[in-house]
Amino acid sequence: MDNQSICQHYRQELAVESSPAIATLKTLIEYLKRDESTTASGLRDNVRSAIELLKNTESRTEVESVAEIYFRFITLKASEYDEFRELKSELSRRSDLFLKKMMECRKKVAKNGHPFISDGCTILIHGCSRAVNCTLAEAKKANKRFTVYVTESAPDMSGKIMVEWLKENGIMSTLIIDSAVAYIMERVDIVLVGAEGVAESGGIINKIGTYSVAICAKSMNKPFYALAESFKFIRLYPLNQSDIPDRLKWKTNTDFADHPLVDYTPPSYITLLLTDLGTLTTAAVSDQLMQLYL
C-alpha cells in the first residue's frame, strides 16, 4: 500500500466505524497483510512509516496510542520466528485476534461503568463519547431511571451529536451551553466523560473544556468518572496544558485551526477511570501501561 492507499483505506474504515482508533488499527492490519517485505526489520520499518503517516493524517491521541500499542505487539513477536513467512502468518492471525479484542473494549467499559449509575441520579456529560453512550444504554437496559444533561461542547458543538446518539438508545437528554456547567452542577450527582487518551499519570486528554468541568465538579464534591478503552492508554506524562504535544492539540484544515480542541485533566480531579480492564484508580494506570508496552 502506498501513502495514498493507506490514507484512503483509513478514511473508508473511519466512515464505517466512526472511531479513529479502530479505523487506525484496521488500516495497519490491512497494511501488514499487503506488505511485501521479506525480512522482519523491513516489515518493522514499513509499519513504522505507515504509523507516522496515520499520525500526521489524523492528529488524535487515540490514533497515536492504538498505533504504538499495535507496533509494540508486532515487534515483540519478531524475534520468536526464524522463518519470515511463518512470522508474517502468525502476525496476521494474532492481529485479527487483537482487533477482535479491541472491538469488545467498549462493551466491557459499559459493563464495568453502568453500576456507578444509580437509579434516579442526575448525570452531566461533556463531549461526545461512544463509551459514555454505551454505558448509559447499558444502564437503561438495567431499567435504571436517570436524568442527563449534555454540554454543547464548543467549538464544534459535538454535544448535539451526543444528544442524538442518546436519543437513538431511547435516552432523552437536555443540551446546555458550556457556560452553564457551574449552574447545573448543583443538580448533578455524577459527571461522565470519555477520553481521547489516558496519560501515564492517570490524567486524561479529552475534549476542550473537560478540565473546566472537572474543576467545577471537584469544588462541589461531585464524582467525576472518565470512561476509556485500554487502547487509549498512551505513554505521555503532561504536567500542564502546555505539555500536550501540539500535534494532538491543534487540528489543521478545520474551521477551528486556531483553537485547541483538547485539554489535560490532572489525575487529582478524576474520581475513577472506568475501563475494559476494570475500575482503576489514576495511580494504577502506569502499571497497566507497563503491561501494554513491555
With contact defined as beta carbons under 8 Å apart, do 221 and 191 qualify?
A: no
Higher-confidence residue of 3 and 176: namely 176
Q: What's the rounded Cα separation, in Å, for the pair 249 and 253?
A: 13
216 and 242 share one domain: yes
26 and 111 share one domain: no
Number of domains in the chain: 2
150 and 256 share one domain: yes
Range of lowest pLDDT (66-75, 132-141, 156-165):
66-75
Picking from 72, 103, 134, the residue at the C-terminal end of a domain is 103
153 and 123 share one domain: yes
Question: Cis ω on the peptide bond leading into residue 155 (within 30° of 0)?
Answer: yes
Q: CA 67 → CA 61, 80, 81, 189, distances in Å?
A: 10, 21, 23, 36
pTM, two decimals, is 0.90
Q: Residue 181: what pLDDT? A: 98
Would strands 272-275 and 224-228 be described as parallel, antiparallel, or unpaired? parallel
The pLDDT of 235-248, averaged and rounded, is: 91
DSSP 137-193: HHHHHTT--EEEEEE--TTTTTHHHHHHHHHHTT---EEE-GGGHHHHHTT-SEEEE
How do residues 23-59 score in pLDDT, each as one tens digit? Answer: 999 999 999 989 888 888 888 899 999 999 998 888 8
For the chain, the average pLDDT equals 91
The CB density around residue 148, as the number of other CB atoms within 10 Å, is 20
53 and 27 share one domain: yes
Q: What's the rounded Cα separation, in Å, for the pair 65 and 237?
A: 13
Q: Residue 43: what pLDDT? A: 86
138 and 165 share one domain: yes
With cut-offs at 50, 70 and 90, classify the pLDDT of residue 85. Answer: confident
Show the beta-strand stretches assigned E in the chain. 121-126, 146-151, 174-176, 190-193, 197-198, 204-207, 224-228, 262-265, 272-275, 278-280
Higher-confidence residue of 83 and 18: namely 83
Domain enclosing residue 237, as ranges: 106-293
Picking from 45, 78, 103, the residue at the C-terminal end of a domain is 103
Adjacent-strand bridge partners of 174: 149
60 and 86 share one domain: yes
Would strands 224-228 and 174-176 be described as parallel, antiparallel, or unpaired? unpaired
Q: Residue 257: what pLDDT? A: 56
With cut-offs at 50, 70 and 90, classify the pLDDT of residue 88. Answer: confident
255 and 135 share one domain: yes
CATH of the domain at 50: 1.20.120.1070
With contact defined as beta carbons under 8 Å apart, do 294 and 229 qualify?
A: no
Nearest alpha-carbon partner for 270 in 195, 186, 208, 207: 195
CATH of the domain at 211: 3.40.50.10470
> The C-alpha cell of 273 is what?
477511570
Q: What's the rounded Cα separation, in Å, for the pair 134 and 171?
A: 11
Question: Does residue 197 register a pLDDT over 70?
Answer: yes
Picking from 41, 76, 103, the residue at the C-terminal end of a domain is 103
The pLDDT of 208-233, averaged and rounded, is: 97
Cα Rg, the chain, nearest whole Å: 20
If you search the block for the grid coordinates 451526543, which residue do you land on? 162
